[in-house]
Chain A
């Protein structure tokens, strides 16, 4: 069963505006972690941000922030002040407890930033 759901296959955003990428997950483990990765056309998976299930505050890294709503099992990524270089595929992933840190990935969302 798919554990991670990204319902937006593609999004367009105007340069300098903010964009929110949706991610919902399903797990019965109390301890888990949520990751967001950026994959440009070159193919490399670039780590953006991490949120642990016990973290009290939403994670932030520069222009990236994670809107973590535990009760709703959602971990949306917010990119503020979009730049042309933000155009890429974005993947949400989850790590379960005791799984040798294996990640399950969502289907991804393609973001295109317009000038």
Chain B
């Protein structure tokens, strides 16, 4: 079965501090992993995907197949990073059928 676990529902850090949002997955094959973000009053949008290995808005995420993790990191948090973050996986059903975690609400305090 495919499953994505985000252990923290809420995460609060101060501006300028490092941020790490945790994501663990369960999938027996080779998954594709994504991070989606939803800013206040905006729609869900793709932040980054592991296959492109990009850094978007200062965020990076490395796929660790040994630990089945895809944690999202940013070295210096900014207030505009406050949002809801979802980790998602696609696998057996195809690249465009996503399994989402329950999300982590990130709050950056000034």
Say whether A and B bind each other. no
A residues apposed to B, CB below 8 Å: none
B residues apposed to A, CB below 8 Å: none
